[in-house]
Structure 1
Amino acid sequence: MKCLICGAPYKSPPTWSKLFLYELDSSTCIRCFGKFEKSQSVIDFADFRGTPFDGAVDSVFSLYSYNEAMKEYLHQYKFLQDVALATVFAGKLQQAFQSKEGIVVPIPMHPDKLVLRTFAQVDELLNAAQTSYQHVLSKITTEAQGKKTKKERLKTTNLFEEIQTIQPTNYILFDDIYTTGATIHHAAKILKDAGAKRVEAITLIKG
């Protein structure tokens, strides 16, 4: 096999996870995968207290930190449209979702952005992780959030709308990166207001 990041041939070493938990292969060599740093951040919601989003999200878990290796990975995956890289974190994401109970909901892209990107990067991460999900939200604004401050993002109204009936059960939002948390809180508020019992979130990266 060839590493999807550096192109060097590699052999996937046997691990207990692969033998007994059927962990999916990362399609990368040990050297490349070792450059990604596990997130040590503890995410709290202090900035959302006293806002309309207070209590919308019950917990957030991010797998990795945003370092130089992750920056290069995201650029290659999202902006150079290398969809094969969706498999790099398949095993780790699969394990993360197996530890939770609830309906998995990917943060959606606006249809116009999907045309530009050619694929939904969040959906493909879940597909690679063999994790089932439901599209219950639709993004209704094309306004870019990346360059806004947290305060500006929170003032933005109606980022999403529900497109399916929300059940009184647990939901797990999934996005590729958690930066200010505004996007996750916008989506969670829609779910909670519509009757969701609990809303957690998993992200690949903590920015």
Structure 2
Amino acid sequence: MNGTISLFSAEASGPGLADLAGVLCGPGRMAGFGRTAARLSAVVDEPWRAHALARECRRRGAEAQVSAAECGRPLVRTPFRVDLLSLERRWCRGEGKVLPEGFRLDGGMLRLWALAAGSPQGNNYLLALDPEAPETYERLIAALAQLGVPAKVQRGEEALLRVTGRRRLLRVLELIGDAPLGAEAAWPSPVPVVRAV
């Protein structure tokens, strides 16, 4: 990491509730309780991700619990909260998830997206997308490009955004800051990471 802090980095403005939108860029879901409260939840691949996200939620003033989803995978979920209503209203249309008009990604959001669904692979960094919200993909690519991180959709068993190249990976690191304890293996690395298949 270099000594300068980008205006868009996770450290620039400190943690805030708005950062939770980063979870919604990946697997996150919002649920409303009438018109009085809303909660954020995300089913993730590994238990450490759920615990790390719960800690990051708490840093932003939103308590979160870790449990198991019906599918057996780890689930992190906040309680219903009045202060999450604006997030739910911006990101939900009917039963679906939409990217809000004028959405701008920043380092805090990208940090939570990386925790929820990021992983290094060789000279790439992959960010999982929501398979139930394909209409968000192109706009998320545009949001990353505004941060100086060009990405492409990689399709396979799951849809992913792929960031390639040392300079771009260094930019992602600059934006999201140091890995939380236990998350190092999922953090971008400018040195290629070879994963066993």
TM over 0.5, yes or no?
A: no
In our comparison, the structure showing a higher alpha carbon Rg is: 1
Give the TM-score taking structure 2 as reference length: 0.31
